[in-house]
Structure 1
């Protein structure tokens, strides 16, 4: 793929506040004094295509765009892909970002997929400083992605059947990680041996004392004596007396039932109250009756209509009075009789309670005398129980200590068996680790030889496109081992020790290498081109930026 940029329009980008257009050719020289925007043209090309600055840093683009109102940044590229005209526009306004390819809005991934494959590939071609400044790991990964793969079968053919078998046995799948993985396994096995040797050193058998014995004959006898003493039967007379006492106390709590009944005067008093009430009502009626005189139509005599009614009420009033007096007398006689009965009942209850209390006290006295009699015997029995319990406790503790001692001996014997087993196991594991180490060392050596053959073949491919630049992928250590490494050498000198002119020349060779390997011929932007007098001619568009003191910015198509 051949890409040539014919024209670039820049607005609001770094120092280009107002829109500026520049026509670019196969060979273009951008010259002028410092700070006029020469390098910004290369930055604008990188930003328009990748969205990054020319060093691949996306976050650094904040320094490229316009932060003044109306905060619009736009770069337009008119270019050709294999002769077909294309237009790419990248615009940033405020926080929005837009990309248009031939008036169609696209995403960054679309441009990457269809145009430049990857940011690292594009910038390694556009910017000669980009690839040499990559971290060694990133540079090697980029080379691996662009170099033509070399098949395992091709390398195995040179490696030989023995080493090939060792690699396959060790699951050789990814050459890039095989040595790292196997060295990690080797380190694990070596550390395992050190650990196991420490286990063996620290696993020393424990010194164990002899077991002890305990004769429990005395303890059994004492426990039998104690059982006999503690099972003394209580005198049944105690229970007999206690039962009698409880029955009398229960009888006392229930009270004396054999009392004479008391006449109930409640209903008689109610009847008397009812007669009194009726008496008062009739008296009120008589008082309120008055006269009700009428004249007879036949005889002309005056007749009192209420006279008969009044006479009847007065007769009823007298009857009620006689009944009330009789009822009162009856109640008084009953109440007098009740007072006599209450006195007789109280005397009977008192005599009953005195007799019952006497019986209870007599029984309690008998219980106390019996208890006093048994007290001396009980005191002697308790002294014997206390003495025997103390001796039993002492012998129990002695038996417990003997048991604990023997249990500890048993545990230590088991621990010694485990230690012996662990030592034997560790020795077997050490031997297994030694066998694995020997196998891993052969596998690592096979992996090194595999990589060495692969490196030689890749170096042969790379050498076709490089002149004074050499890529170093490994170095020889003090102990004679080849270690993975990556350096860019120019005429045998490391890149970081080169002059600015030599760095540009080395970068141009790498740019040309990536371009030819990928068949992607992108423009190359050479900054600080005044540092070299002769610039290597590349089969692609070249834009050179030179400092010319005192000169205004000038963009000149040379070819």
Structure 2
């Protein structure tokens, strides 16, 4: 895209009451100091952006004479399309015109923005503007118009193992995301590996505390099974004996209970037997008649008969149980219980040996699993370390190739895009321009102008935008490469009034 300035009209702009500038391919502006030379290129930027040529705010109002309105109009050609832009100040308020039509600030700014990027345009117009930006902004602007390196270009410069691994991984994640993933995993596996080592050590210590007993487990289990069989057989016999003994004990207990009842009954007999027959009423104390006395005697005899019948029944029940007890046999099972105890003692060392052997086998299995987990954790950790190293190598090689790619665009300038951290050696984005080994800030005026011209031509070539270029203090440089696009040169000539001449007029 080609941008050309055709005509600038200034009214009450600083020292210019009424000035019209027709621009050619080369426009020379000369004159003594304070004659308004710099105000001309400055007004071009003010018309577009309301700033000076370095992007700073300025006050264009004149000093030393009365004015009603400040106005600057610029007729420019963008890709063969003419646009007339006007900016003014009236009573402290900003005014805007697009092709002589009054416009709002938003409409005006949107139109200017649609024509060209502000930072790029100012960098092309004023070679000094680029160096006023922050290094990160300079870097971004430069790289915006340099073809980005393809991953394949960088992979081709890496060791095969690193290149193959990253080429596979970037199909799913970006390098930035991969770095985040594997930084997190490396930290996680660092901790997990320490824990895994600790578990393996603990299990080994437990294993060392378990005696290593040589035992034929199959044979021992067979012996235990035989002993358990014998115990079961003896227990069956003992249980059968216990059943008989329980019947004996139960009968004996019932006899004892009956005997206690018989004894209690016998103790009651003397009082009943010797009970006197009284001839007076127990309640009212009146003498009883003969009939009543006989009734008392009959009641006593009836009670004696009932007692004797009950006592006899208890005795007969006891005799029956004694007969039953005599038919029962009490079996002593202590011998069987002793046999069971001895068999249990014989079985215990076999069981303990098997349990110890089983415990050792369990611990050995857990140790193998712990070692496998430890190895898996270490492998995951090392994999992340390898990938992070590969990414670091990719970034370093990419930085090197990118720097080379950018550097090849320049002839006298050196461009630094990255710097290396002292602590971890990682490359971080950076930007600095040098000429003949000197940083831009240390260059002389003429050197800084030449550096700015070279840089703006690279930006122009890479962006594909040809814009006018303004060189101030042109008298300070004796030689420089003619920039592409229109050139506006300001030169101090002592004792000379303001003079503007185009290339055609100069001829």
TM-score, normalising length: structure 2: 0.54
Aligned to 1:471: 415
Aligned to 2:312: none
Q: Counterparts of 1:166 and 1:431 in 2: how far apart (Å)?
A: 23
Q: Counterparts of 1:137 and 1:433 in 2: how far apart (Å)?
A: 40
1:301-320 CA-partner distances (Å, limit 9, x unpaired): xxxxxxxxxxxxxxxxxxxx
1:108 equivalent to 2:109? Answer: yes
Q: 1:161 to 1:552 in 2, by over 3 A?
A: same
1:250-298 CA-partner distances (Å, limit 9, x unpaired): xxxxxxxxxxxxxxxxxxxxxxxxxxxxxxxxxxxxxxxxxxxxxxxxx
Aligned to 2:96: 98
Aligned to 2:149: 150
Aligned to 1:530: 475
| CA displacement at 1:434 relative to structure 2 | 8.5
Q: 1:104 to 1:11 in 2, by over 3 A?
A: closer
Contact persistence 2:183–2:388 (CA under 8 A):
no
Aligned to 1:446: 390
| CA displacement at 1:28 relative to structure 2 | 1.5
Q: 1:556 to 1:173 in 2, by over 3 A?
A: farther
1:460-482 CA-partner distances (Å, limit 9, x unpaired): 54345421012111245657935
1:311-331 CA-partner distances (Å, limit 9, x unpaired): xxxxxxxxxxxxxxxxxxxxx
Q: 1:440 to 1:32 in 2, by over 3 A?
A: farther
Q: Counterparts of 1:19 and 1:438 in 2: how far apart (Å)?
A: 75
Matches within 5 A, 1:399-414: none
Q: Give structure 1 stretches of 5+ with no counterpart.
A: 198-429
Q: Counterparts of 2:43 and 2:448 in 1: how far apart (Å)?
A: 23
Contact persistence 2:29–2:500 (CA under 8 A):
yes
Aligned to 1:2: 2
Task: Figure out how many residues of one structure are paired with residues of the other and give that number.
Answer: 324
Contact persistence 1:163–1:443 (CA under 8 A):
no
SS for the counterpart of 2:38 is helix
Q: Counterparts of 1:491 and 1:172 in 2: how far apart (Å)?
A: 45
1:510 equivalent to 2:507? Answer: no
State which drifts further: 94-103 or 32-41.
Answer: 94-103
Matches within 5 A, 1:240-259: none
SS for the counterpart of 1:131 is helix
Contact persistence 1:77–1:88 (CA under 8 A):
yes
Structure index of larger Rg: 1
Q: Counterparts of 1:31 and 1:530 in 2: how far apart (Å)?
A: 10
1:520 equivalent to 2:461? Answer: no
| CA displacement at 1:36 relative to structure 2 | 2.0
Contact persistence 2:414–2:434 (CA under 8 A):
yes
Q: Counterparts of 1:49 and 1:40 in 2: how far apart (Å)?
A: 14
How large is the Cα RMSD of the aligned pairs? 4.1
Q: Counterparts of 1:172 and 1:101 in 2: how far apart (Å)?
A: 52
Q: Counterparts of 1:431 and 1:544 in 2: how far apart (Å)?
A: 72
Contact persistence 2:396–2:427 (CA under 8 A):
no
Q: Counterparts of 2:135 and 2:385 in 1: how far apart (Å)?
A: 26
Contact persistence 2:41–2:53 (CA under 8 A):
yes
Aligned to 1:38: 37
Matches within 5 A, 1:359-398: none
Aligned to 2:324: none
Aligned to 2:271: none
